[in-house]
């Protein structure tokens, strides 16, 4: 039986790097009264080419660190980690009776895209790990089995964006190459299946054309977080603005310098943390866990 979680605890958010700050930005805008703690696993960045087993292990280790910091809700702001580890995280949180709900970025973005498309042709740009997992195909089919999903793996785009300020011709050429199959498929809606991609959204819109609607997961996920907080009576009763803080497993100063571009707000201090391996292992009952994917 899950324990009762106090309202005044922070919401935990994690990603492999600074990309998840685009999600945190939406959370800060839509839920200004809440406290947040964001953990970036920059020491093991990028996640996009990792195996599902690795992503499960990393995610469970990070979840333990955030639960230790008494978060009331866990947001997986990484598409690759959501695709590989969300069911295991949800099952583990129930098994350990921590009383913490887990929300990922895949389902909110997929549902929003299905509601948006006019032609039933939706595109997805994502990391190789996310595409290979089939998580978006599953989520889109669950929302509407008549929608066709055209998936484009973009293996190098995340790293290029993270190291690309200011963006150069290599970024332009890479983005154009990944947009070509979506234009050929005549999709009218494109899901950005990586939290880094909103940083090149103007470029994407130009190359895909003005008639294509681009879907980022941040805003629909923030709405889902708000609904979960309300249904669980976990929303902060604070009238003013909450606080937000940052942790990373790699170079704290490098994360702070990069993060400003993604968050579009001041970051302040960033604390470096070590994530202990092996404290939480992937749940062995993954067959049951798969039924919990949201």
Tell me the pLDDT tens digit for each residue of 78-124.
999 999 999 999 988 777 556 799 999 999 999 999 999 999 999 99
Contact between 262 and 15 under an 8 Å Cβ cutoff? The reply is no
For residue 29, what are the domain limits? Answer: 11-104+219-290
Say if 148 falls within a structural domain. yes
The enclosing domain of 116 has a CATH number of 3.40.50.1860
Catalytic, out of 154, 179, 194, 248: 194
Asked if the model's pLDDT at residue 281 lies above 70, the reply is: no
pLDDT at 269: 86
* 194 is known as an active-site residue: yes
pLDDT digits (tens, 9 = 90+) for 234-255: 999 999 999 999 999 999 999 9
Claim to verify: residue 211 and residue 272 sit in the same structural domain: no
Of these ranges, 94-98, 172-176, 261-265, the one predicted with the greatest mean pLDDT is 172-176
Confidence of residue 213 (pLDDT cuts 50, 70, 90): very high
Say if 6 falls within a structural domain. no
* 179 is known as an active-site residue: no
pLDDT at 292: 35
Say if 2 falls within a structural domain. no
Catalytic, out of 78, 154, 179, 248: 78
Say if 54 falls within a structural domain. yes
Q: Which of 19, 8, 15, 6 is nearest to 160 (CA)?
A: 19
Tally of structural domains, the chain: 2
pLDDT at 268: 83
Claim to verify: residue 147 and residue 272 sit in the same structural domain: no
Alpha helices in 185-232 (DSSP H): 201-208, 218-231
Q: Which of 83, 103, 108, 80 is nearest to 93 (CA)?
A: 103
Tally helices (H) and strands (E) across the chain.
12, 10
Q: Is 243 helix (H, G, I), strand (E, B) or coil?
A: coil
- The span from the CA of 158 to the CA of 223, in Å, is 25
Claim to verify: residue 40 and residue 139 sit in the same structural domain: no
Claim to verify: residue 121 and residue 187 sit in the same structural domain: yes
Q: What is the maximum alpha-carbon separation in the chain? A: 55
Give the sheet arrangement for strand 73-76, strand by strand. Answer: 101-104, 73-76, 11-15, 36-40, 244-248, 270-272
Name the DSSP letter for residue 4. P
pLDDT at 280: 42
Confidence of residue 4 (pLDDT cuts 50, 70, 90): low
- Which has the higher per-residue pLDDT, 227 or 293? 227
Which DSSP string do the residues of 248-285 spell out, in sequence order?
A: ESS-HHHHHHHHHHHHSS----EEE--PPSSSSPPPS-
pTM: 0.88
């Amino acid at each position: 039986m899950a324990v009762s979680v106090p309202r005044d605890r922070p919401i935990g958010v994690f990603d492999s790097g600074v990309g998840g700050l685009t999600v945190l930005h939406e959370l800060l805008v839509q839920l200004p009264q809440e406290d947040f703690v964001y953990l970036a696993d920059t020491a093991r960045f990028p996640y996009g080419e990792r195996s599902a087993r690795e992503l499960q292990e990393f995610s469970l280790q990070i979840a333990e660190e955030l639960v230790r910091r008494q978060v009331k809700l866990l947001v997986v702001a990484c598409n690759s980690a959501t695709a590989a580890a969300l069911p295991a995280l949800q099952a583990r949180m129930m098994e350990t009776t921590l009383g913490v709900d887990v929300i990922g970025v895949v389902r909110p973005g997929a549902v929003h895209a299905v509601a948006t498309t006019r032609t039933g042709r939706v595109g997805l740009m994502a990391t190789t790990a996310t595409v290979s997992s089939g998580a978006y195909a599953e989520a889109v089919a669950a929302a509407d089995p008549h929608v066709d999903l055209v998936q484009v793996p973009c293996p190098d785009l995340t790293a290029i964006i993270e190291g690309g300020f200011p963006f150069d011709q290599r970024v332009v050429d890479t983005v154009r190459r990944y947009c070509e199959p979506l234009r050929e498929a005549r999709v009218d809606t494109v899901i950005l299946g990586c939290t880094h991609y909103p940083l090149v959204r103007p470029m994407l819109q130009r190359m895909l054309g003005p008639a294509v609607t681009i879907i980022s997961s941040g805003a629909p996920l923030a709405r889902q977080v708000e609904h979960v907080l309300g249904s669980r009576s976990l929303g902060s009763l604070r009238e003013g603005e909450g606080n937000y803080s940052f942790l990373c497993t790699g170079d704290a100063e490098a994360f702070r310098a990069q993060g400003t571009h993604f968050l579009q707000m001041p970051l302040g201090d960033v604390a470096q943390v070590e994530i202990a391996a092996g404290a939480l292992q992937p749940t062995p009952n993954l067959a049951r866990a798969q039924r919990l994917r949201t």
